[in-house]
Amino acid sequence: MTLDQARFSGRQILAFHEIESYYHAMVTITFPDRETEKRALAFMLGRFSGRVLRSGEHLVPVAALEALADQNIPFSVPGREMQILNEG
């Protein structure tokens, strides 16, 4: 057993791996137009790693989705229906 393993319980290690995998999971997204795409890339540059695919889709970490939404940058996740919750 290493020193790092001795400091953390099994539950804490499992929670760390779940958080770590959340930030490393990648999702394919698209933007509605080129101008929005440029704005999104400018925002994500230096904050998140990712790739632009030949199809024009972007492969980004799951954590980038919330950041894009916080910046009011519209995007879609191809092949998935997004449910919008309406309060009020």
Examine residue 71 and state whether it is found in any structural domain, yes or no.
yes
Examine residue 88 and state whether it is found in any structural domain, yes or no.
no
**With left for phi above 0 and alpha for psi between -120 and 50, is residue 46 left, alpha or beta?**
left
Examine residue 73 and state whether it is found in any structural domain, yes or no.
yes
Domain holding 74, by residue range, is 25-79
Tens of pLDDT, residue by residue over 37-54, are: 999 999 999 999 889 999
Examine residue 16 and state whether it is found in any structural domain, yes or no.
no
Count of domains observed in the chain? 1
The residue that leads in pLDDT, 80 or 77, is 77
Q: Give residue 79's pLDDT.
A: 74
Examine residue 51 and state whether it is found in any structural domain, yes or no.
yes
Examine residue 2 and state whether it is found in any structural domain, yes or no.
no
pLDDT above 70 as % of the chain: 62
| Helix axes of 10-24 and 62-70: crossing angle, nearest 10 degrees | 60
Which CATH number do you get for residue 45? 3.30.70
Examine residue 44 and state whether it is found in any structural domain, yes or no.
yes
